[in-house]
Structure 1
């Protein structure tokens, strides 16, 4: 079997929103409050004149300034800085948690979950803002139709990556759940197939009852001959 190339999952750059509302570090408090309210957004990236992300200012940052006793730990450096903040530079949360356009969507999903954010700034290799990715953007990955998923499993995973005839296996997809039945040549191929199918965008679960014609687990490869080449028996005439 040829070397299997693990397919790349969908990248953040393919699902992000490129039209982004931004503010500068010198934007006044009142102006940013009006901006967030007008556009009905929970926050905005703060960028410098070169487009590099300096931080993020959110509704929470504004509330921390206005709250009577503050939402931050009293006496903390951050609380003191935000207490009398008049400009975004003193209001924003910095450094910003960002994701790169070339990252897998799974990376963005993990960051959103870990930090309880609704969206993340997306940057290029130079740290410049290129978009924003939200939870709803990531959910689009799972809106692929069952037919689209099945076609990718057949053509990309089985035919191209595993060099198998898709017609030799039973492949069904329902609500993102992939079912695989049938037999393959070697036992070691089964976990590889399952891993590849799980990486297909939109796949929620893989259920399989695949069998093999030969259990090659634990079978040692043929040792090389004296010349470094694989040893081979001489033909008998």
Structure 2
């Protein structure tokens, strides 16, 4: 059975960029107790160690960054592509929506809902030759690759996907499915 030394606990806390006060607050113990544990002045109860290590686990999950879970390259369509081409890409990959990107820059999004809506009032042959730019919606929100996954989760509550940008160009995408996959491990 592995029992951490006071030095082990201090190293973990520092790796997670937590102050003693932040760790104490997360663990529901006092900052002086954390200081005494780290200095080796006191042997903590097992229940206290459990609280501290649960706080460590929680902090680790918060520190997962977008670059660790994003998909790259981003499967997309362009605004000048036909709706038929966009529909084929979505069908091929099992997507219900995807970004519209021109020269690496996000310009909109397209979904199966938009395509179906465009078909209700027009001849299907005409719709298939329409350009994506004629029915595309707003672009997905954008973030940097160093954004933490908690922030991304909040953005995804209102959006189907988030695009990851570096120097103004799309380099990745994160979806709700990617966030849910974090539960497994």
TM-score of the alignment, normalized to the shorter chain, above 0.5? yes
Deviation at 1:97, TM superposition (A): 2.1
The answer to whether 1:52 aligns with 2:94 is no
Aligned-pair Cα RMSD in Å: 2.9
For 1:4, which of 12, 19, 27 is the aligned residue? 19
Change (3 A) 1:62 1:132: same
Contact 2:79 2:100 in 1 (8 A): yes
- Where does residue 24 of structure 1 map in the other structure? 78
Contact 1:25 1:89 in 2 (8 A): yes
Q: Distance in 2 between matches of 1:120 and 1:114?
A: 10
Deviations 1:64-104 (A, max 9, x none): 211349xxxxxxxxxxxxx9981111221124322322111
For 2:176, which of 135, 138, 142 is the aligned residue? 135
Deviations 1:43-65 (A, max 9, x none): 2211112x011111111221221
Length, aligned pairs only: 127
Change (3 A) 1:22 1:30: same
| Stretches of structure 2 lacking an aligned partner (at least 5 in a row) | 1-13, 23-58
Deviations 1:147-199 (A, max 9, x none): xxxxxxxxxxxxxxxxxxxxxxxxxxxxxxxxxxxxxxxxxxxxxxxxxxxxx
TM-score, normalised via structure 1 length: 0.47
For 2:163, which of 109, 113, 121 is the aligned residue? 121
Change (3 A) 1:95 1:41: closer
DSSP-derived class of the 2:157 partner: helix
Deviation at 1:41, TM superposition (A): 1.1
**Matching of residues 158-173 of structure 1 within 5 Å:** none
Contact 1:85 1:91 in 2 (8 A): no
| Stretches of structure 1 lacking an aligned partner (at least 5 in a row) | 70-82, 145-237
- Where does residue 64 of structure 1 map in the other structure? 117
Is the helix fraction higher in 1 or 2?
Answer: 2
